[in-house]
Amino acid sequence: MTQTPKSSTAPPPDAGSPTMPSVPPQPPHPGRTPATPPARTLAPPRRTAFAEGLDELRAAATTEPGRLRIIGALLALLVVAFGAIAAWQMTERATAADDVLHRSQPLTSDAADIYRSLADANTAAASGYLAGLQEKPAMREGYETDIRTAAAKLVTAAANSEPGSTSANTITELSRLLPEYKGLVETARANNRQGYPVGGAYLRAANEMMQQKMLPAAQKLHQTENQRLRDDYADAKSFPWAAAGLGVLALAGLVWAQRRNYRRTNRVLNHGLVTATAASTVVLLWLTVGHTIARSGLNDSYEHGVRSLNVLHEARIASLTARSDENLTLVRRGADTRSLPDGTVVDAYEWGYDKEIDELGEALLRAEGLADDTAGKKPVQDANGFMKVWKDRHGAARDDNESGNYQAARDRVIGAAKEPTSVCFDNVDKALATALTHEQNEFRQAADDGRDSLTGLPTGAAVLAVLGAVGAVLGIGRRLSEYR
């Protein structure tokens, strides 16, 4: 039998067969160029979402529906931005106006009251020392009331001041000095009642502490709070230019969109766009008129309220200082002198009285000029009349003192005489208190009117802006529906 020859091709090894060793690569044949692997194609860089969105926007702008969508979105965004900025700016101004009425002006008045209470306490201490054993209970009670008032006002001012601020540091200093001053006055009073002349030295030390440390600190506190009040006024009265500008821009965009709509469709009105225009117009007018009225009220409250109050406070402080110097003239009996520029030596407290009484007269003239009605002018005129009588009676007391009649001078000053200067001082102080009360009420009325004109404006602006944005979207949507 003939046998079939076996194929020369070996069968492939099965899975279990051992792997044949790999043949090492042969070096290239001399003169033959090795094969170049095929080049890899690089993927283009991925575009940003902004670039892709810009392309889509450009593509949409080539069709009328796309353009309408863009116009609707821009109008809605513009109206909402207008409402948001208007609400934000008017909220800031309403807050500043409220601060003027309920925070900064009351704190300014409190600072003035602290000064007045301290100066009045110093005057009462000198008057009580002069009276000695004849000191009346009312005189003593007046001193104690002034000290309590100053302490209470310092507590209130500390609670409303920013920690670490200039005002807070000043209040802390005054709170530290007040007990020391009171201790000196009590020591002077005790020594005086026992007939010890050293009491005068303690009273002088108390007066120097008041004049050189406490009253300057109280004046600094008043100036700081007054600056804070002016800042609040500036914030409340500044015109909201950003909101007004956006409002004009929004109205211009809405008018342009309606004109465009009319030219393409010959339809005069688009209810949605008209609604948006009306809402934006109301917000813009409300903002302009409301702020104008508020500014007018705040200006009136400053011109006929704050300015008058400041001048009246100056007058009251000058009156108190003059009375204190008048008393200390008799307490010190010429022990303290002052050299004038021309070389003349005068009694320091007599010189101080003349200076303060002149300042009182100037302040009363300014206060009368600032008063805008009879109720405000009359108490100022009364104070001016009492001041003139005071000057005349003080001149008589000065003549007695310079002629060596100390007892007669003392009686003319503290009340034993028929017409003492103490009565004149009390009348001046009462008239100024009446004028201050009137001007404080004038301030509150005007400031309250100004603040009330902003009531509801921030909320109204936000609501109307949302209404306007919805109207703009619906108005454009109505046009888009014609393409479906």
Range of lowest pLDDT (44-58, 89-103, 208-222): 44-58
Query: Span 411-428, mean pLDDT?
Result: 82
Q: What are phi and psi of 347, to 5 degrees?
A: -65, 130
Selection from 356, 364, 365, 362 nearest residue 319 by Cα: 356
Write out the two tokens for 72: 């609707």
CB atoms within 10 A of CB 154: 23
35 vs 335, higher pLDDT: 335
Contact between residue 247 and residue 283 where contact means Cβ atoms under 8 Å apart: yes
What is the pLDDT, as a whole number, of residue 195?
Answer: 82
pLDDT at 250: 92
What's residue 55's pLDDT? 62
Residue 147: the pLDDT is: 93
Instruction: State pLDDT tens for residues 386-412.
Output: 999 999 999 988 888 888 888 888 888
Give the per-residue pLDDT at 219.
87
User: What per-residue confidence (pLDDT) applies to 225?
Assistant: 87
pLDDT band at 6 (very low <50, low <70, confident <90, very high): very low
Q: pLDDT tens across 69-107, in order?
A: 888 888 999 999 999 999 999 999 999 999 888 888 888
Q: pTM for the whole thing?
A: 0.73
The alpha-carbon radius of gyration of the chain (Å, integer) is 43
**What's the per-residue H, E or C state across the chain?**
CCCCCCCCCCCCCCCCCCCCCCCCCCCCCCCCCCCCCCCCCCCCCCCCHHHHHHHHHHHHCCCHHHHHHHHHHHHHHHHHHHHHHHHHHHHHHHHHHHHHHHHHHHHHHHHHHHHHHHHHHHHHHHHHHHHHHHCCHHHHHHHHHHHHHHHHHHHHHHHHCCCCCHHHHHHHHHHHHHHHHHHHHHHHHHHHHCCCCHHHHHHHHHHHHHHHHHHHHHHHHHHHHHHHHHHHHHHHHCCCHHHHHHHHHHHHHHHHHHHHHHHHHCCCCCHHHHHHHHHHHHHHHHHHHHHHHHHHHHHHHHHHHHHHHHHHHHHHHHHHHHHHHHHHHHHHCCCCEEECCCCCEEEHHHHHHHHHHHHHHHHHHHHHHHCCCHHHHHHHHHHHHHHHHHHHHHHHHHHHHHCCCHHHHHHHHHCCCCCCHHHHHHHHHHHHHHHHHHHHHHHHHHHHHHHHCCCCHHHHHHHHHHHHHHHHHHHHHHHHHHHC
Residue 328 pLDDT level (bands cut at 50, 70, 90)? confident
Q: What is the average per-residue pLDDT within 114-119?
A: 90
Please tell me the least confidently modeled range out of 3-17, 41-55, 187-201, 361-375. 3-17
- Among the ranges given (259-263, 281-285, 373-377), the one the predictor scored with the smallest mean pLDDT: 259-263
> How does residue 40 score in pLDDT terms, banded at 50, 70 and 90?
low
Whether the predicted pLDDT of 39 surpasses 70: no
> What is the pLDDT of the chain when averaged over all its residues?
83
Tokens standing for residue 295: 């500014």
pLDDT of residue 34: 56
